[in-house]
Amino acid sequence: MSFEPSKKLQTILDMINEFVDRELVPMEHDFLEKGFKAMEPELEKKRDMVRQMELWAPLHPKEFGGMGLPLMDTAMIYEALGGSLMGLYVFGCQAPDAGNIEILHKFGTPEQKEKWCRPAIEGKIRSCFAMTEIEVAGSNPTWLLTTAVKDGNDYVINGQKWYTSSCDGSAFAIVMAETNPEASSHHRKASMIIVPTDTPGFNLVRNISVMGHTGDGWSSHAEVAFQNCRVPQENIIAGEGMGFVLAQQRLGPGRIHHCMRWIGICNRCFDLMCSYAKTRRRTPTKTLADSDVIKSYIADSAADILSSRLMVLNTAWIIENKGVKEAMKDISIIKFYVANAMQRVLDRALQVHGGLGMSDDTPIAMYYRGERAARIYDGADEVHKISVGRRILNEY
């Protein structure tokens, strides 16, 4: 197998890298200081520039206005965009919309696709995904306390969710709720239901403060309470009891994109670390780069990045050629491995920058506090390691 990008993809990557450096990196300080809503008009101008470059929504289907690129190509694009705080949003491939769009495009009815999928791809609306709950294991989609009970032609939803990312300002949520409590298999108890956020009973309780930062709009993480929230039964996706299956379909390719985005973060911080080491003096005649300790940091980081990148591209290749089911072990491996590799690279980059690294004068501190969650969301490290060990032992 070859992971060399085609000439067409390389041209796209070059255009993206140039755009990110020229248009997005200079906006980062204002974005961190002012927040998403204050910067949204300026970000929309950048999105229009991306549309004019015909690089909008690289992973979404062509018939709805995206580029329709394959997983291997979009993985490399996520790496390029991951080096910017706003890259994925400006190019129309941000989470959680990307996963919601994929589910709706694959499994939604024609009516659901036109009402929710198309405008989400076009960037006219945003969405959120509500699965994680406060009182049960967030990494276990077969165990939910939120219920959706049939009443006439409707579902009535009750429960509480948190870390419903990007809920603030979203037009709709895809909600995981238990619809079949008596199902013989715990994998068939839950369903995914589209819930417009202006539905009575859908209550955004608060945007959760994460590591001292309370985001807004797309950069928020909400707590949501469902109180007799009534939606039509036609809002269910792919039928009752399909929640777990859809979650697996959603999270598999999604973890590829997460991991490649993390590698983009690593690349950005690695460049900052090397550049700073070459210019920061530790004596009147020597820079940090003259230190063997710093050289060791750089070598370890280069190895972490390269091994992570090859692992993720290999997993993307398996998904593309054999399907998500055949790649489950590899998906779990990259999820915990790359998340930890990123933590190591970030820690070294911050250490090399010293006091400057603790400040928000560089993006390192923001990445350091913001990406610690990578070892938790979409399945904690421990969950994925147990899964990998079990799958390997089952082969014997």
The CATH number of residue 132's host domain is: 2.40.110.10
Residue 324 has pLDDT above 90, yes or no: no
- Binned at pLDDT 50, 70 and 90, residue 180 comes out as very high
The whole-number pLDDT of residue 133 equals 93
Please state, in angstroms and rounded to a whole number, the distance separating the CA atoms of residues 372 and 205.
24
Does 232 sit behind a cis peptide bond, omega within 30 degrees of 0 on the bond before it?
A: no
Same domain, 346 and 230: no
Same domain, 257 and 370: yes
- What element of type H or E holds 111? helix 110-112
The answer to whether the CB of 98 falls within 8 A of the CB of 78 is no
The whole-number pLDDT of residue 1 equals 78
Same domain, 97 and 32: yes
Question: Under 8 Å CB-to-CB from 87, ≥6 apart: which residues?
Answer: 16, 20, 24, 80, 81, 264
C-alpha dist (Å) from residue 133 to 157, 161, 199: 14, 5, 20
Place of tokens 């933590």: 343
Tokens of 181: 């409590």
- What element of type H or E holds 360? none
Q: Which domain holds residue 327?
A: 244-394
Which range has the worst mean pLDDT, 11-15, 147-151, 186-190, 344-348? 186-190
The DSSP symbol for 369 reads: H
| Span 310-331, average pLDDT | 94
Same domain, 345 and 389: yes
Whether residue 91 is contained in a domain is answered as yes
Same domain, 378 and 248: yes
Whether residue 117 is contained in a domain is answered as no
Identify the CA nearest to 87 among candidates 22, 180, 164, 157: 22
- The pTM of the full predicted model, rounded to 2 decimals, is 0.93
- Binned at pLDDT 50, 70 and 90, residue 58 comes out as very high
Please state, in angstroms and rounded to a whole number, the distance separating the CA atoms of residues 96 and 116.
14
Look over the chain and give the mean of its residue pLDDT values, rounded to a whole number.
95
**Structural domain tally of the chain?**
3
Please state, in angstroms and rounded to a whole number, the distance separating the CA atoms of residues 150 and 337.
42
- Write down which residue in 177, 206, 237 finishes a domain: 237
β-bridge pairing 147-151 and 154-165: antiparallel
The whole-number pLDDT of residue 249 equals 79
- Write down which residue in 237, 252, 283 finishes a domain: 237
Same domain, 96 and 179: no
Q: Which amino acid is at 189?
A: K
Q: Give the CATH number, domain containing residue 333.
A: 1.20.140.10
Same domain, 154 and 42: no
β-bridge pairing 221-232 and 172-178: unpaired
- Binned at pLDDT 50, 70 and 90, residue 305 comes out as very high
Same domain, 350 and 283: yes
Residue 269 has pLDDT above 80, yes or no: yes
Same domain, 48 and 165: no
Same domain, 33 and 168: no
The dihedrals phi and psi of 3, each to the nearest 5 degrees, come to -105, 15
The whole-number pLDDT of residue 250 equals 77
Same domain, 263 and 343: yes
- Cα of 22 vs its chain's centroid, Å: 24
C-alpha dist (Å) from residue 312 to 71, 141, 317: 11, 24, 9
Same domain, 162 and 281: no
Whether residue 47 is contained in a domain is answered as yes
- Write down which residue in 237, 257, 292 finishes a domain: 237
Question: Under 8 Å CB-to-CB from 165, ≥6 apart: which residues?
Answer: 95, 96, 128, 129, 220, 221, 222
Q: Give the CATH number, domain containing residue 43.
A: 1.10.540.10
The whole-number pLDDT of residue 139 equals 66
